Structure 1
Amino acid sequence: MSSKGLLLVFSEVGSALSESEFHGWYNNEHIPLRTVLPGFTSAARFVQADSHKPTWAALYDLTTADYLQTDDYLNLAKTRSEREANVFKQLQYLERRIYTLNETAPVTVSDAFAGHKEGMTLVAVSIQVPPEHESDFHKWYDEEHVPLLRKVPGWLRTRRFILVESDATGVLEGTEGYKAPPKFIALHEYANADGLAGPEWKAATSTPWRDKIFANVLSIERRVLKVFKTF
């Protein structure tokens, strides 16, 4: 049986398109056409909460990553409206990342988690380590890092995925061009951001084992996002 999938899409509106046009298209056309498909099990939009770009993100849970290769999904591009085609042309930046669930990493969920709600905080941490250090990296995550994160006030859920493929169109201002994201991503969800600078969070991110793991990290990307709209 195939693993569950995840589609993460980052976007930056730019100056050629108004934000009202962008949100109207996203909320009323783009996402509704996807959430009715059997391979999409949930969708939510996010806005940056860390002052970094891209400003906007959308997160789709999939039955499998392979669903994005089916006729049901591919037909969306073949039959897209003139409105959607124009939005794609005018967006400054659009990046798609497809992931598959890391089956060896348990999904940990608080009893308080009841789906995405507006205002919730998502901390998305992507990390690349050399292949020979991947086993140690996952062991640290399983045995120390996630158990400590669960003590952070407001923690709701942690899920970990493996990158399948990614691509981007446009250029993000202030960058030298597109770079493929790190292989592993962890999605940490919180009821709010209040605990992210507290003693429990600091304890989870400042241990000798963590320092040993990070000595071998090749690249890291950390984004803090807030739920903007659920579907």
Structure 2
Amino acid sequence: MSNLAAIPPHGLLFVASDVDAADEADFNLWYDREHVEERARVPGFISAARYQAVHGGPKYLGLYRTESLAAFTSAAYKQAFRHQTPWSVTNLGRMRKPMRRVCSVDASVGQGSGSWLVVLPLPRADDAVSLIDRASEVGDELSLRAGFVRSYLLVPDDELSQPLPNESLEGRELLPLFVVESSDEQASELALGIAAQGLHADPAGAARYILKWKLYAKELTS
């Protein structure tokens, strides 16, 4: 086994939700002024990014990339997760149809961050290795297209993906997600079609997002 093969995959916290219109102003202020930085400061976190849906949903999406899944079992993360600030408690309670997934990041192709994001739910796979291989092949094909920035497969961890306060447990499925980041809308739509065909997924179930802003842990000041 090579040294690269021995390196665990990055982790990623995927949090999506709607919010009532009357609560959006405070919800966005909380996310922008407290929550993003709070999570980015947790040891092992690399970046925190916010997205807003342009098609499908939920409307708001947060992606938090970590060095590995171990970041979600650390004492620092458990402290932050279990002891939320009063502002956090209020806004977590405002989330509608929330979705929280802690995932490994596999089959990563490309680099950087695209302003357009596609999230494509995939059928549950019996063979995880084959799914990763297929996702890598699709990513390689997408990388030949103009506007492609990055693609990766998110595989939820059953134990770590604890639900949010308002998250329904009825019919809750921890399906794998294929994510494509692109530089423009046309490239994003093209990527969706190719990915859906290559991964035998229904494109009607995909959501499209635009990047609102992103914070890297290394940018934080003390």
TM-score by length of 2: 0.78
SS of the counterpart of 1:131? Answer: coil
Give the Å deviation of 1:68.
1.4
Taking the aligned partners of 2:192 and 2:92, their CA distance within structure 1 comes to 39
Taking the aligned partners of 1:13 and 1:54, their CA distance within structure 2 comes to 9
Question: Which string of whole-angstrom CA distances, capped at 9 and with x for unpartnered residues, describes residues 58-103 of structure 1?
Answer: 000011122112210111244422222222223323321000123x
What letter corresponds to residue 230 of structure 1 in structure 2? K
TM-score by length of 1: 0.75
Structure 2 counterpart of 1:57, from 53, 61, 71: 61
Question: Which string of whole-angstrom CA distances, capped at 9 and with x for unpartnered residues, describes residues 157-202 of structure 1?
Answer: 1122321033244368xxx9552131x222211011122445x875
2:119 aligned with 1:127: no
Alpha-carbon spacing, 1:47–1:54, altered in 2? closer, same or farther (3 Å) = same
Give the Å deviation of 1:125.
1.8
Taking the aligned partners of 1:23 and 1:148, their CA distance within structure 2 comes to 36
Alpha-carbon spacing, 1:201–1:20, altered in 2? closer, same or farther (3 Å) = closer
- The CA RMSD over aligned residues, in Å, is 3.0
Matches of residues 2-21 of structure 1 in structure 2 within 5 Å? Answer: 2-14=8-20, 17-21=22-26
SS of the counterpart of 2:79? Answer: helix
Aligned to 1:191: 183
Q: How many residues align?
A: 206
Structure 1 counterpart of 2:45, from 30, 40, 58: 40
Matches of residues 87-102 of structure 1 in structure 2 within 5 Å? Answer: 87-102=91-106
What letter corresponds to residue 33 of structure 2 in structure 1? N
2:155 aligned with 1:159: no
List 4+ stretches of structure 1 deviating above 6 A. Answer: 217-220
Structure 1 counterpart of 2:79, from 75, 80, 93: 75
Is the contact made by 2:93 and 2:165 (CA closer than 8 Å) also made in structure 1? Answer: no
What percent identity do the matched residue pairs reach? 17
Structure 2 counterpart of 1:230, from 211, 214, 217: 214
What letter corresponds to residue 38 of structure 2 in structure 1? L
SS of the counterpart of 1:161? Answer: strand
SS of the counterpart of 2:172? Answer: coil
Taking the aligned partners of 1:34 and 1:130, their CA distance within structure 2 comes to 31
Is the contact made by 1:45 and 1:229 (CA closer than 8 Å) also made in structure 2? Answer: yes
Is the contact made by 1:121 and 1:190 (CA closer than 8 Å) also made in structure 2? Answer: yes
2:136 aligned with 1:142: yes
Greater Rg over alpha carbons, structure: 1
Gaps of 5+ in 1: none
Question: Which string of whole-angstrom CA distances, capped at 9 and with x for unpartnered residues, describes residues 204-225 of structure 1?
Answer: 3587xx4xx63xx699942211
SS of the counterpart of 2:178? Answer: strand
Give the Å deviation of 1:137.
4.1
Matches of residues 200-215 of structure 1 in structure 2 within 5 Å? Answer: 204=194, 210=198, 214=200
